[in-house]
Amino acid sequence: MDWLLVVLKHNLIFTALVSLGILLPDLCLGHLCKILTCTIPITTLLGVIPFAFILSLVRNRWFLGIVLGLIAFTQIIQVNHWAYFGAPIHSQDISKVFFELDEIAQTGSSLAHILWPVWLTLCASSTLILIGPLYIKRRKQLPYAWIIVVLALSVTPVLSYIKGPSFFYTKPTYSTIYNTVRAFSDWIVRSKYETKNFGYKPYNITHSNQKIKNVVLIMGESLSSRYMHLYGYKESNTPFLDSLKSNPNFSSAKGISSSVSTRTCLQTFFNIYHNPGFLELIRKKDANLFRLAKHQGYKTFVLSAQNEKLFHDTGTEFVDTFASEKDMHDALTTKGDEALLDKLSTLELSDKNFIVIHLRHIHTPFGGYAQHHPELAKPINQNNRASQTQQEYSNAIAYHDHWVKQCITTIQKVLPTDTIILFTSDHGQLLGERGLFGHNQMQPEVADVPVWTFTIKANPQVISPFKNQPISHYDLAKYIANLFGTTITNPNENHTFQYVHGSEMYTNYEFMPWKKVNGKPVFLKNQWVGEKTNP
Ligand SMILES: [Zn+2]
């Protein structure tokens, strides 16, 4: 046995270094600092150590470099996600990492004071993972060891293909590498899935006269109603909206968003999307709100303080004037979202107008909005991350309330009669509930959004949409179509259930079914499109 140890001494050092590198985030950030909820189950040790040993036998250094590089890279994504959101990354969110790098860098740098141990650990972990092959050259090597590595790496993708998506539910109490391997395997396999045809029938769409000439939809960002004083939050952060409560032209309701991510919310909202997996509707855009508005003779506008790529598949081909972040960059940088109102004042309006104002506040970092109106920001007590984030979020809502006041004043000037303003947010936000932060997670709190309307010298026959609370984005979008004079009948509608859709529509995604019970939403177990029969 001794001769074997001598022969394999360098392989064992290699194995120890790589294994320690892979498990370091769990040891430091899980066991020691408690930043992550992960543990190291024995099954992870039984997987990681033999795998690292087989790697130590691989001869081709290029192959070895690529495999170890991939392990380090995917773990960096996983650990950063977990530390920020409080949960492991979902396969549906992996593509977003590559598309939203600028947003991630901005949010990450604002949390550097919290995330520095994470980054320090990841530097150490990557060094350990990569140092093995570079400096341990005298290890025992076998010509075909790479085949075993390839076979081992294929196991989870193959299992995912056979067992289906529930195999990949994230497990926040398992190790980081366990969640990384499964999420990335699922991501690779699922991106090759063809979305199925579920036999949905086309909507029945009929047109008559419009109910109102000017429809202004304000699409907020990451705003949850439960942190607004208007909806009962303890801090007085919505004095202007509170003052509208007694105004007969104002009404408000609890809302349920159609998705947990910005892009998917915009796609589902503007296409009046309801049934999970009905992608045909988005491809054909039969019920697209911009299209319906154009059909009914409205001039259509989008003023967005965010990146235009978020409007992919929202029907921008039916928008007459589209201005996004890049068109208003300097003004948005200096004035924040008040720049949108300057732009609104300069629009060449028609007799009938459908205007969408898409906000950037209250996106993370929440504290950033104080620079535009420092007088609105209350001092922050630094106790713990959840409390501090909630205070910053509440301050951002105070900024929002101030913005709404300016916005209504501007619209009253620009469109003084026959106008309705409708407000909702794309999705809500988690602020430490069950240790979770951010959005993009399939949790009921992320679907919690406000909905309110304000009319300006409008026909009182414009019916309030709020008779049957809570109001979903789907209800609201159908109501907007109705204001244009368009009635939508969806033969696939289930009268009991509605859905909050996952963050990536073009795959067999996860969704949350819910129903209204005594004016409150009741969420059922999450499901996957195509996995089971829909409720
Ligand atoms: Zn958003």
Q: For residue range 398-447, list pLDDT tens digits in order.
A: 999 999 999 999 999 999 999 999 999 999 999 999 999 989 889 999 99
Q: Is the pLDDT of residue 17 over 70?
A: yes
Question: How far does residue 259's CA lie from ligand 1's centre (Å)?
Answer: 10
Question: How far does residue 265's CA lie from ligand 1's centre (Å)?
Answer: 8
**Are the C-beta atoms of 364 and 438 separated by less than 8 Å?**
yes
Question: How far does residue 378's CA lie from ligand 1's centre (Å)?
Answer: 24
Q: Is the pLDDT of residue 220 over 90?
A: yes
- Helices 61-85 and 42-56: crossing angle in degrees, nearest 10, is 150
Question: How far does residue 364's CA lie from ligand 1's centre (Å)?
Answer: 10
Q: Is the pLDDT of residue 219 over 80?
A: yes
Q: For residue range 283-332, list pLDDT tens digits in order.
A: 888 999 999 999 999 999 999 999 887 888 898 888 999 899 888 999 99
Question: How far does residue 261's CA lie from ligand 1's centre (Å)?
Answer: 6
Q: Is the pLDDT of residue 461 over 80?
A: no
Instruction: List domains and CATH numbers for the chain.
Output: 2-190 (no CATH), 204-215+252-369+398-528 (3.40.720.10)
Question: How far does residue 262's CA lie from ligand 1's centre (Å)?
Answer: 4
**Per-residue pLDDT, 308:** 81
Q: Is the pLDDT of residue 136 over 90?
A: no
Question: How far does residue 361's CA lie from ligand 1's centre (Å)?
Answer: 9
DSSP secondary structure letter of residue 278? -
Average pLDDT, the chain: 89
Question: How far does residue 139's CA lie from ligand 1's centre (Å)?
Answer: 51
**Are the C-beta atoms of 209 and 485 separated by less than 8 Å?**
yes
Q: At a CB cut-off of 8 Å and minimum separation 6, what does 77 contact? A: 89, 94, 97, 180
Question: How far does residue 373's CA lie from ligand 1's centre (Å)?
Answer: 22
Question: How far does residue 363's CA lie from ligand 1's centre (Å)?
Answer: 7
Question: How far does residue 257's CA lie from ligand 1's centre (Å)?
Answer: 11
- Split at pLDDT 50, 70, 90, the class of 227 is very high
Residue 25 to residue 39: CA distance in whole angstroms = 10
Exposure pattern of 356-385 as b/e (b: 16+ CB <10 Å)?
bbbbbbbbbebbbbbebeeebbeebeeeeb
Residue 88 to residue 29: CA distance in whole angstroms = 13
Question: How far does residue 26's CA lie from ligand 1's centre (Å)?
Answer: 30
Question: How far does residue 427's CA lie from ligand 1's centre (Å)?
Answer: 6
Question: How far does residue 270's CA lie from ligand 1's centre (Å)?
Answer: 15
Question: How far does residue 63's CA lie from ligand 1's centre (Å)?
Answer: 40
Question: How far does residue 266's CA lie from ligand 1's centre (Å)?
Answer: 9
**Per-residue pLDDT, 460:** 75
Q: How much of the chain, in percent, has pLDDT values that exceed 70?
A: 95
DSSP secondary structure letter of residue 261? S
Question: How far does residue 222's CA lie from ligand 1's centre (Å)?
Answer: 5
Q: How many Cα atoms within 13 Å fall on the side-chain side of residue 312?
A: 10
β-strand 250-256 against 353-358: which pairing, if any?
Answer: unpaired
Question: How far does residue 21's CA lie from ligand 1's centre (Å)?
Answer: 35
**Per-residue pLDDT, 196:** 67
Q: For residue range 507-527, list pLDDT tens digits in order.
A: 778 899 999 998 899 999 999
Residue 85 to residue 440: CA distance in whole angstroms = 9
Exposure pattern of 404-419 as b/e (b: 16+ CB <10 Å)?
beebbebbeebbeebb
Rg, the chain, Cα only:
26
Average pLDDT over residues 449-468: 82
Per DSSP, the three-state class of 382 is: coil
